[in-house]
Amino acid sequence: MKNLLKLLAVLIFSISANAQSINFNSNELYPEGIAYSKKQNVFFVSSLHYGKIGKVTPKGVYTEFITDDELVSTIGIHANEKANLLYVCVSDPGVSVKTNAATQMKLAKVNAYDLTTGKRKFSADLGALNPNGGNFANDVDFDNQGNAYVTNSFSPIIYKITPAGKASVFTTSDLFKGEGFNLNGIVVYNNEFLIVAQSSTGNLYKVALKNPTYITKIKADPILGADGIFLNGNNKELLVISNSNKQVYQLNSSDSFAKAKITKTALSEMTFPTTGIVVNKKYFILNAKLDEIFNPKATKTSNFLIQEI
């Protein structure tokens, strides 16, 4: 641990003087997820507080895009431009204006919306596949065939959703069990396997797409509070956001992530960063300030940041 701390003290991302971070405002929005449309040149952000989906322009102009009574809290989101769909993870962690006893810690859905019009195309009920367990649909990514994979943070499950919207349990494992928040960020690597992050332990796991019972732990220093993860274009760098310590970690691998090494870190400018995205070869992370909404005594604010690092 001492050596890791020394490494992190030295290997810090340089924040470019030309960094184009984007400030935006929306009343107590508390966005958890972020997506991007290259065709529209716009970001999409979710909302724990209101459950709506909004658009943010590169100049920081926020506008509402999707409002839907089914959206209690919106969590991870992902734009599939090939299918012209926005996938939205829907859950209820208890801080939404729509929170209720029937959905709190039980709701887990993924809704797909037309990326242009915002019209709902389908809703996949993941909670129905795990009726006796805790449910929290957290993050989503796609393989080359358009299948979506979704993490459940309150039960050790990864789901699969076909392009037609049919959901199933893709895999489950005791490796994913732990105290509190567990499975979190997810990415598809080279259409071969999933990489998933576990918040409670800081571990990263690989799950083979062709054999989902084959799960291996990536040999890397644990990153406690691991939240969103994303790959760069060459699949040799994985960025992991830790919400608990406001850090972004860059991990590099030369063996398809059998093992990985932390090579750089960066600090978020605001509290509780959640996830990130690559846009035009630039890295952006979402400064969500979720600590405020989970603390009843905290002053609630309305300014948020898409930070270039």
Domains of the chain by residue range: 30-308
Contact 209, 225 (CB under 8 A): no
Q: Is the pLDDT of residue 16 over 50?
A: no
Whole-number pLDDT of residue 9: 43
* CA 174/CA 213 separation, integer angstroms: 11
Cβ count within 10 A of residue 271: 13
Tokens of 141: 């990514």
Kindly report the backbone phi and psi dihedral angles of residue 204, in degrees, each rounded to the nearest multiple of 5, phi listed first.
-120, 140
The 10 Å CB-count burial string (b at 16+, else e) for 91-112 is bbbebbeebeeebbbbbbbbbb
Whole-number pLDDT of residue 234: 80
Looking at every residue in the chain, the average pLDDT score rounds to 94
Place of tokens 């499950």: 157
Whole-number pLDDT of residue 238: 98
Mean pLDDT score, 133-161? 98
- Percent of the chain scored above 90 by pLDDT? 92
The dihedral sign for the CA sequence 88, 94, 95, 98: positive
Confidence tier at 292 by pLDDT (50, 70, 90) = very high
CATH superfamily name and code, 30-308: TolB, C-terminal domain (2.120.10.30)
Contact 293, 301 (CB under 8 A): no
37-86 confidence digits (pLDDT tens): 999 999 999 999 999 999 999 999 999 999 999 999 999 999 999 999 99
E runs forming strands in 17-102: 22-25, 34-37, 42-45, 53-56, 62-66, 73-80, 85-91
Question: Which residues is 64 bridged to in the sheet?
Answer: 54
* CA 281/CA 309 separation, integer angstroms: 11
Whole-number pLDDT of residue 19: 65
Q: Which residues, in sequence order, are CB contacts of 255 under 8 Å at separation 6+?
A: none
